[in-house]
Structure 1
Amino acid sequence: MNLGKFSRYWFFQAAGWGSFAFINTFFAYSFDKLNNRADVEVYFGRLGIFILLGILATHAMRFVIIRVNVLQKSFDRQVAQFLLITFFFSTVASYFYMMALQDRTWLKDRSWLNKNEHEYLEKNIFLLVLSLAFSFFLLLFIWNLIYFMYHYVSKSRKQQMDTLQLEALVKELELKTIKAHINPHFIFNALNSIRALIDENPGRARTAVTELSNILRSSLKAEKGETVCLNDELRIVKDYLALEHIRFEDRLRVEYQLDEETLKCEVPPMMLQTLVENAIKHGISKQMRGGLVRICSGFRDQFYELTVQNTGHFNGSGSAQGGGFGLSSTQDRLVLLYGARARFQIRQIGDDLVEAKVQIPVGM
């Protein structure tokens, strides 16, 4: 648990219950209810028991709310569960409150009971517990309302900050998208390859122009949406690899290991293309005999995994360190879109094989 949040929670607990005790004591003295030592003893004894049970009940409610994950559910379910939790703990607190008073009140000294409580006790102890439960319910309901509003406002502010950060990143990416996602050297190499094909294979040259046009168009449009379908992203990657194949010819081998169900999954735009470009730039292009680029997607545990493997050696010390703007922006976008649960890692998995892996929580 975060120490700062834990300390803040107990500070508000102390401030809230302290204010409750102060206000009740103020009105008790104001209306001359504490005229003698016996009245003071009864009043502060009851108040102490009430506040102790209140703290225990609210702390238990907080535990249940966190454990059941109430704050992450829909608004209607949150309201229903808050009311149910409040009713349950107010009933339990009133029962233990009555039990705590029994040693002083049950057939002995009933001075700890007020007039209404005397009447309820004479009729039925159940009515007394119900009356006390109503008092606890009002207080715990106010506590839950404050707790709900605090977390609702905190969550809204966090979402606003994340949105502002994402918008700022998008604006930065819009300015750097061609430089970051499509290496200028790739464009020049593609144009030279197309020029060479014009006389040799005019049909392939026309197809290559279309492929390059698709890549540039997609790069310019990439940051207008937060995510795109993996199937659409793959089309751009295949166009990119087709152009690179003109350059590398037999030195470039491509394999796909794709789970059909993952083609509908959403991914940040141009993320896969960035990883593939990184694999060719730092892997295949440095191998005299070329190598393999393998693109895989599938589900593992509670994550959707997207991996790019390539022939080569990884000399970096971290998941995105040393990878330039493209890889660092991939890490930033994953955190902003999916939170801390999203993972991005580049590592050496074999003597001559590097893997870049992205894990996105399922259902987010």
Structure 2
Amino acid sequence: MALSYWASGNELSLKTWQIIMDFFVVILLSIFFTHQLKRIINKFIPFDALKLKQLFIVIGFLLAATVLFYSAYTIYNKFTYTYIYNRIDVLEHPSQSLENNLIFALNYFIYFAMWTVFYVAVKGLMELNKSRETRLKLESNLKESQLNTLKGQINPHFMFNSLNNIRGLMLEDVPRARNMLTRLSETLRYSLTKSTLNSIALEDELDMVRNFIEISKIQLEDRLQFEEKIDKKSLNILIPPMIIQMLIENAIKHGISSLKEGGLIVLSTCLIDHQLQIKVTNTGTLRTSKDSTELGLKNIKQRLALLYGEKADFKLEEIENKVIASINIPTA
């Protein structure tokens, strides 16, 4: 009240220290009641599930805060102007009419309302950002979990058949059997160590593929022919581990092994417009056997989607009695 008198020319001739004291008391009371409003709003208003009824609850809090603020300030005025300022005449001033007191209370109701709207807006944005961060973290954890599930899946049938074939080979060609065991061991080690990574150099993946081909030749022998057409510029490009191996395995299982005369698998890579293109071409057709679950192909598609989103693509097509599986992934 003293501030309004001072602003209108200080017609009551209040001293500077009295005006300053009134000013700081108003500030302190405002801080105290807005702080209490904040505590009550945080306790009773669910920011993650706001409903219309919460609006009426907030209005109730605002009315209560206004009444308590008005009561506290009125008590302060009466005590201060009576016992400290010795200016009881101020309390009898026309400005102390019921109408002016109602206007004063209404002004502070509007002030508390504006503060509440601002606080709720800021708090809501903070909660929204927190919720977004939590969602992104959960999505990241889920993505990582899915990738860990999809990575490093060596077909157990391949392992079983390889061990059986090597056992049979030991009766015919011990040095070659020993060499195949070494290759199988390297394949397992690769699967265990590289499956924890999301990307490796293409050159490292090729070593794994060559081991896989040599092991597969124990059973298929001359029926399996393999050629490489590798762009040297692509050797250091990072790719998902074991993704080429899965393409080769699919080509052998559903292509070469089903042909009596066998066939040829060609692995080629090239760089086109900041994209690495990987192609595995094999003799055969796209006929799908009844017992095929196509898990390998689904695995490849899911891994590419998780790692690159729409920036990568996988395509499988048949052209002139040849099946072509192609992958395009970004190089940066």
Shift of 1:353: 0.4
Q: What corresponds to 1:334 in structure 2? A: 304
Q: What corresponds to 1:192 in structure 2? A: 164
Q: What corresponds to 2:175 in structure 1? A: 203
Match of 2:141 among 161, 164, 188: 164
Alpha-carbon deviations, 1:122-152, whole Å to 9, x = none? xxxxxxxxxxxxxxxxxxxxxxxxxxx9xx9
Distance 1:287 1:165, change over 3 A: same
Distance 1:155 1:293, change over 3 A: farther
Shift of 1:162: 5.0
- Structure 2 counterparts to residues 107-186 of structure 1, below 5 A: 160=137, 162-173=139-150, 177=152, 181-186=153-158
Distance 1:155 1:274, change over 3 A: farther
Distance 1:213 1:253, change over 3 A: same
Distance 1:221 1:324, change over 3 A: farther
Instruction: Answer yes or no: is the 8 Å Cα contact 1:170–1:223 preserved in 2.
Output: no
Alpha-carbon deviations, 1:83-127, whole Å to 9, x = none? xxxxxxxxxxxxxxxxxxxxxxxxxxxxxxxxxxxxxxxxxxxxx
- SS of structure 2 residue aligned to 1:191: helix
Distance 1:305 1:274, change over 3 A: same
Shift of 1:326: 2.2
> Does residue 275 of structure 1 match 2:247?
yes
Shift of 1:255: 0.5
Distance 2:132 2:329 in 1: 21
Listed as ranges, the gaps of 5+ residues in structure 2 are 1-125
Instruction: Tell me which moved more, 306-315 or 274-283.
Output: 306-315
Instruction: Answer yes or no: is the 8 Å Cα contact 1:165–1:336 preserved in 2.
Output: no
Distance 2:269 2:136 in 1: 29
Distance 1:237 1:247 in 2: 16
> Does residue 234 of structure 1 match 2:206?
yes
> Does residue 286 of structure 1 match 2:246?
no
Q: What corresponds to 2:295 in structure 1? A: 325
Q: How many residues align?
A: 204
Give the CA RMSD over aligned residues: 2.7
- SS of structure 2 residue aligned to 1:314: coil
Alpha-carbon deviations, 1:134-179, whole Å to 9, x = none? xxxxxxxxxxxxxxx9xx99997786455223212134236xx4xx
Q: What corresponds to 1:222 in structure 2? A: 194
> Does residue 255 of structure 1 match 2:227?
yes
Q: What corresponds to 1:361 in structure 2? A: 330
Distance 2:144 2:268 in 1: 30
Task: Report the identity percentage.
Answer: 38
- SS of structure 2 residue aligned to 1:357: strand
Instruction: Answer yes or no: is the 8 Å Cα contact 1:162–1:336 preserved in 2.
Output: no
- SS of structure 2 residue aligned to 1:200: coil
Shift of 1:362: 2.5
Shift of 1:245: 1.0
Distance 2:139 2:275 in 1: 22
The residue identity in structure 2 corresponding to 1:341 is K
> Which has the higher Rg, Structure 1 or Structure 2?
2
Alpha-carbon deviations, 1:217-266, whole Å to 9, x = none? 22223331111111111111100100111111110000000001111011
Match of 1:345 among 303, 315, 319: 315
Distance 2:176 2:142 in 1: 43
Q: What corresponds to 1:121 in structure 2? A: none
The residue identity in structure 2 corresponding to 1:336 is L
Distance 1:270 1:159, change over 3 A: farther
Instruction: Answer yes or no: is the 8 Å Cα contact 1:166–1:333 preserved in 2.
Output: no
Alpha-carbon deviations, 1:182-207, whole Å to 9, x = none? 22222222122212222322111111
Alpha-carbon deviations, 1:14-36, whole Å to 9, x = none? xxxxxxxxxxxxxxxxxxxxxxx
Q: What corresponds to 1:94 in structure 2? A: none
Q: What corresponds to 1:14 in structure 2? A: none
The residue identity in structure 1 corresponding to 2:322 is L
Distance 1:357 1:282 in 2: 16
Instruction: Answer yes or no: is the 8 Å Cα contact 1:346–1:357 preserved in 2.
Output: yes
TM-score by length of 2: 0.56
- Structure 2 counterparts to residues 49-88 of structure 1, below 5 A: none
Listed as ranges, the gaps of 5+ residues in structure 1 are 1-148, 317-321
Instruction: Answer yes or no: is the 8 Å Cα contact 1:225–1:269 preserved in 2.
Output: yes
Distance 2:298 2:249 in 1: 14
Shift of 1:276: 0.6
